[in-house]
Structure 1
Amino acid sequence: MRRVLILGGTAEARALAAELTAAGVRVVSSLAGRVTDPRLPVGEVREGGFGGPDGLAAWLAAEGVDALVDATHPFAARMTASAAEAARRTGVPLLVLRRPGWREGPGDDWLRVPSLQAAADLLVAPAGAGAVTRVFLTTGRRSLPVFAGLPGVWLLARSVDPPEPPVPDNVHVVLDRGPYTVEGERALIREHRLDVLVTKDSGGRMTTAKLVAARELGLKVIMVDRPPPPAGVRRVETAAEAAAWVLDLPAAQD
């Protein structure tokens, strides 16, 4: 029986775990443990980090893992780099499962930037400007320090778990978890009189409602691009493709 480690935490990872388990593959899903009360996949679950590429490589070898699937969040660059290095050291086949990113459509007003800091720089009002920019920030609680304290900026920050205190006076935190509705996002934008949406290009259907609402209400969107993937690693976009890759591994990997 093949044994597969899925670096998870995403809907795609959960779908892959379910599909492989149904096919008789022994699956271990690893969760980073950064979210309270995460949605758990079927099969065995391991919570917590590995200690970088050294720890992950040691774990792969000790546990006799036949294949490694990195199905982490598109912005989990450090974990993806660790997976690539650990796979290289151990010879364990590696696949990266990444859902497609979002694409700008008719009526959208997007500006793509390479980093969170670049997004924050765009929000800073010119010296002497009196108006306050009201920002819908959906980049995660760990990114809040990049945006907190910007002059002339008020933030509605949404996250699953509370950010680390203290929360600055110009930040209002909303704790919520998707999927969201267009109606709900429109109401939130109107209630807080928001001007700009700042988000990461995470992709997926669970959080696209904010982009539809922003388009309908004429909000500018600052979209933070994904970090580049490691070179030379095969990538797919769906759980079905990842499952087929695992099941098609050479018999020597059984």
Structure 2
Amino acid sequence: MCPRPMWSRHILILGGTTEARGLAAALTAHPDLRVTTSLAGRVSRPGAVEGDVRIGGFGGADGLADWLCAEQVDFLVDATHPFAESITENAARAGRATGIPTVVLRRPGWRPGPGDRWYEVGSLDEAAAALPGLGHRVFLTTGRLGLAAFAHLSDLRFVVRSVDPPEPPMPAHTDVLLARGPFTVEGESSLLRELDIDVLVTKDSGADATSAKLTAARRLALPVVVVGRPPLPEGVDVVPDVAGVLERLGLAP
């Protein structure tokens, strides 16, 4: 356990998402709070963040716990991407080790609606296994990491969309499209037609900024392979939005 500071509260946000930026903006409106957002540094052009910003990892759960105590943090918010599994686990462990209240800010996931042709799977490997027979041209929007799971599918042609250039290995027949959301339904529909896409592959990020592709796929009657989220650590406190974090802190939204 680490000692509680005597001065105004220090909030650490593990960020990188739209929700994290929104939370930092909401918290910095309270002058009695010190707000620090930590970014992993995996994206070359992160969006602007209000308050203090640090870049880079902590060295696992123990390193994070040490930083929390050294910087006299009162409250920890994991507002990372829903698929940042190791960071979420480390945050939960560090919170338990230090006794610092910890919440996970996790936007709700997507849900299929009428007309959707979803194939829900539990991993990128399962997504790759589901593709043969669904189509020949694949629009892959699972991010720049993890493309090795699809590298053996030499009979298929892929269009990979990501913010930064993807890392090899990747499928032999791959075109890369660098783009950052938000995207529109009309824009996504036109893109899927222009690229002659047969099947969409995505992770269940739940973000509004990237959900237009799902509506576009429904319009075009395309199958969608959806990779489900990893499970959260047992016993973590989860809130769906910025208002939920403010409530935990006893602040008016």
Aligned twin of 1:13: 20
2:145 is aligned, of 139, 142, 147, to 142
- CA contact 1:182–1:210 (8 Å) conserved in 2: yes
Provide the secondary structure at the position in 1 that maps to 2:145.
helix
Aligned equivalents of 1:192 and 1:107: distance in 2? 22
Aligned equivalents of 1:74 and 1:167: distance in 2? 23
Which runs of no fewer than 5 residues in structure 1 stay unpaired?
126-130, 249-254
- CA contact 1:33–1:47 (8 Å) conserved in 2: yes
Give the C-alpha shift of residue 146 in structure 1.
Answer: 1.2
The reply on whether 1:156 has 2:159 as its aligned counterpart is yes
Higher mean displacement: 153-162 or 15-24? 15-24
Give the C-alpha shift of residue 68 in structure 1.
Answer: 0.2
- CA contact 2:139–2:160 (8 Å) conserved in 1: yes
Query: CA RMSD for the aligned pairs?
Result: 1.4
> What is the TM-score when the length of structure 2 is the normalising length?
0.92
- CA contact 1:148–1:170 (8 Å) conserved in 2: no
Give every structure 1 segment of 4 or more consecutive aligned residues whose post-TM-superposition deviation is greater than 4 Å.
165-168
Aligned twin of 1:34: 42
Aligned equivalents of 1:180 and 1:10: distance in 2? 16
Aligned twin of 1:194: 197
Give the C-alpha shift of residue 232 in structure 1.
Answer: 0.7
Aligned twin of 2:222: 219
Aligned twin of 2:97: 89
Alpha-carbon distance change, 168 to 234 in structure 1, aligned in 2, over 3 angstroms: closer
Aligned equivalents of 1:99 and 1:171: distance in 2? 31
Give the C-alpha shift of residue 112 in structure 1.
Answer: 0.6
The reply on whether 1:244 has 2:247 as its aligned counterpart is yes
1:180 is aligned, of 175, 178, 183, to 183
Aligned equivalents of 1:53 and 1:235: distance in 2? 19
Number of aligned positions between the proteins: 243
Aligned equivalents of 1:153 and 1:12: distance in 2? 35
Q: Which amino acid aligns with 1:238?
A: D
Give the C-alpha shift of residue 173 in structure 1.
Answer: 0.4
Q: Which amino acid aligns with 1:149?
A: H
Aligned twin of 1:252: none
2:29 is aligned, of 17, 22, 33, to 22
Give the C-alpha shift of residue 148 in structure 1.
Answer: 2.2
- CA contact 1:70–1:95 (8 Å) conserved in 2: yes
- CA contact 1:73–1:202 (8 Å) conserved in 2: yes
Give the C-alpha shift of residue 168 in structure 1.
Answer: 4.6
| Equivalent residues in 2 for 1:60-99, closer than 5 Å | 60-99=68-107
The reply on whether 1:204 has 2:207 as its aligned counterpart is yes
Q: Identity over the aligned pairs, expressed in percent?
A: 58
Provide the secondary structure at the position in 1 that maps to 2:37.
strand
Provide the secondary structure at the position in 2 that maps to 1:135.
strand
Aligned equivalents of 1:18 and 1:171: distance in 2? 39
Q: Which amino acid aligns with 2:24?
A: A
Aligned equivalents of 2:191 and 2:248: distance in 1? 42
Provide the secondary structure at the position in 2 that maps to 1:118.
helix
Q: Which amino acid aligns with 1:106?
A: P
Aligned equivalents of 1:49 and 1:146: distance in 2? 25
> What is the TM-score when the length of structure 1 is the normalising length?
0.92
Aligned equivalents of 1:231 and 1:132: distance in 2? 38
Q: Which amino acid aligns with 1:85?
A: R
Alpha-carbon distance change, 168 to 230 in structure 1, aligned in 2, over 3 angstroms: closer
Which runs of no fewer than 5 residues in structure 2 stay unpaired?
1-7
Alpha-carbon distance change, 227 to 165 in structure 1, aligned in 2, over 3 angstroms: closer
Aligned equivalents of 1:132 and 1:243: distance in 2? 45
